[in-house]
Amino acid sequence: MQTVFSIGVDAFAYGMVLFVISIGLSVTMGLMRVVNLAHGAFAMIGGYIASYAARDLGLAYAVAVMLAIAGTILIAIPVERLLYRRIYGQSELTQVLMTIGITFCIIGIANYVFGPTLKTIPAPDALRQPISLGFRTVSAHRLFVIACGTAVALGLWYFIERTAFGVKMRAAVDNAAMAAALGVRTEVVYAVSFAVAVGLAAFGGVVGAELLPIEPYYALRYMVTFLVVVSVGGAGSIPGALAACLLLGAIDTTGRYLMPEFGEFFFYLAVIAIVWLFPRGLAGRAE
């Protein structure tokens, strides 16, 4: 029984980490309809900035997180204006080509600027303690990530479903021409949505760095994982993404505990099974 609880805790924590890192991609893919393979690259940029701020400049963790988000968005603005704007509404394959190109470039630049070694983001002492849950210990950082995930899920849900901007955003995506006719400035909506997605990517990159450490190849290494969880959840749906992350996290964790040799099989067989049962993703809407 204790083992079951223990796996449950690990699974939940892992699922939340996946969620925090991937949710930004759900925004770009589901709401902006851009297959953004460069999502990991932006997460990585966030991680590098935070690492530089916290480790080399010795700034506080919270400050480093803020800097990472702001810095990544700042870097992303010209990228959005010059490159992404050209692929909105284009075919998926074109988007794949462009965003893979961007990813390659960012990897190359990161490798050149920061070198190929791993970069850590020193967390405050409070987050480095193991915390006892009675039957086992977990690191405080995991609990922190779970809290972050919950906050992001609620905040984003509120932003998209409840604010005026969220309404405009959904309108712009569903029918850009109609939204424009109603006075919505779609290019502003897109730019803001992109900034939100990139900010989330950076945030995820930083708080998830304990599990997915920052190095130049980060952008490609985890690309598939991000793509899979978002698509399984149904791109653009926050509850869907959350459900997919928790479900896949649980399957992955359980599989790795019970039969670590076949961990990879469990994960991808589960992916196939889920998509087989829900061909549009867990929370997919009819197209």
Partner 1 sequence: MKKLAIAALAAALLGGVAHADIIKVGVVGPFSGPFALQGKNFKAGIDAYMALNGNSVGGDTIEIIYRDVPTADPAQSKALSQELVVKEGVQYLAGFYFTPDAMAATPLLEQANVPMVVMNAATSAIVTKSPYVVRTSFTTWQTSTPIAKVAFDGGTKKVISVVSDYGPGVDAEAAFKTGFEAAGGEIVEAIRIPLQTNDFSPIMQRIKDSGAEGVFAFLPSGPTTLGFVKAFNENGLKEGGIKFFAPGDLTQESDLPALGEAALGLTTTFHYAVSHDSAENKKFVEAAAKAIGNPAELSFPAVGAYDGMHVIYKMIDATGGEQDAAKAVDAVKGLAWESPRGPVTIDAESRHITQNIYLREVARADDGTYYNKEIQTFENQGDPGLAVVK
Partner 2 sequence: MLSGSDTLSVTGDRRARLTRDAIGVLVILALGIAGYFLFPNNLALLTRITAIALLVLSLDLVTGYCGVATLGHAALFGAGAYGAAIAAAHFGIADPIAMLAVGIIAGSIAGLVSGVVVLRAHGLPQLVLSIAIIHLAHEAANKASGWTGGSDGLAGIMPDAVFGLWQFDLWGRTAYVFGIVLLIVVFVLLRQIVRSPFGMLCRGIRQDPVRIRAMGGSVHGTLVRMYIISGAVAGAGGALNAISTQVVGLDSLSFTLSAEAMVMLVLGGTGSLYGALIGTLAFLWFEDVVSAANPFHWLTIVGALLIAVVLFAPKGLYGSLASYFEHRGRKNP
Q: Which two tokens stand for residue 254?
A: 């359980």
State the helix-helix crossing angle for 140-162 and 164-174, rounded to 10 degrees: 70
Nearer to partner 2, 7 or 105 (CB): 105
Say which entry of partner 2, partner 1, none residue 33 contacts (CB below 5 to 8 A, set by partner kind). none
At its nearest, how many Å lie between partner 1 and the CB of residue 256? 4
Say which entry of partner 2, partner 1, none residue 89 contacts (CB below 5 to 8 A, set by partner kind). none
Nearer to partner 1, 10 or 80 (CB): 10
Nearer to partner 1, 17 or 76 (CB): 17
At its nearest, how many Å lie between partner 2 and the CB of residue 31? 13
Q: Which residues bind partner 2 (CB under 8 A)?
A: 29, 35, 83, 86-87, 90, 92-94, 96-98, 100-109, 111-112, 224, 227-228, 230-232, 235, 261-262, 264-265, 268-269, 271-272, 275-276, 278-281, 284, 287
| DSSP structure string for the chain | -HHHHHHHHHHHHHHHHHHHHHHHHHIIIIIS----TTHHHHHHHHHHHHHIIIIIS---HHHHHHHHHHHHHHHHHHHHHHTGGGTTTS-HHHHHHHHHHHHHHHHHHHHHHH-SS-B--PPPHHHHSEEE-SS-EEEHHHHHHHHHHHHHHHHHHHHHHHSHHHHHHHHHHH-HHHHHHTT--HHHHHHHHHHHHHHHHHHHHHHTTTTS-B-TTHHHHTHHHHHHHHHHH-TT-HHHHHHHHHHHHHHHHHHHHH-GGGHHHHHHHHHHHHHHH-TT-TTPPP-
Nearer to partner 1, 157 or 257 (CB): 257
Q: Which residues bind partner 1 (CB under 8 A)?
A: 3, 6-7, 10, 13-14, 17, 108, 111, 115-120, 130, 136-139, 141-142, 210-213, 215-218, 220-222, 225, 252-254, 256-257, 260-261, 263-264
At its nearest, how many Å lie between partner 1 and the CB of residue 257? 4
Say which entry of partner 1, partner 2, none residue 13 contacts (CB below 5 to 8 A, set by partner kind). partner 1
Nearer to partner 1, 171 or 211 (CB): 211
At its nearest, how many Å lie between partner 1 and the CB of residue 252? 7
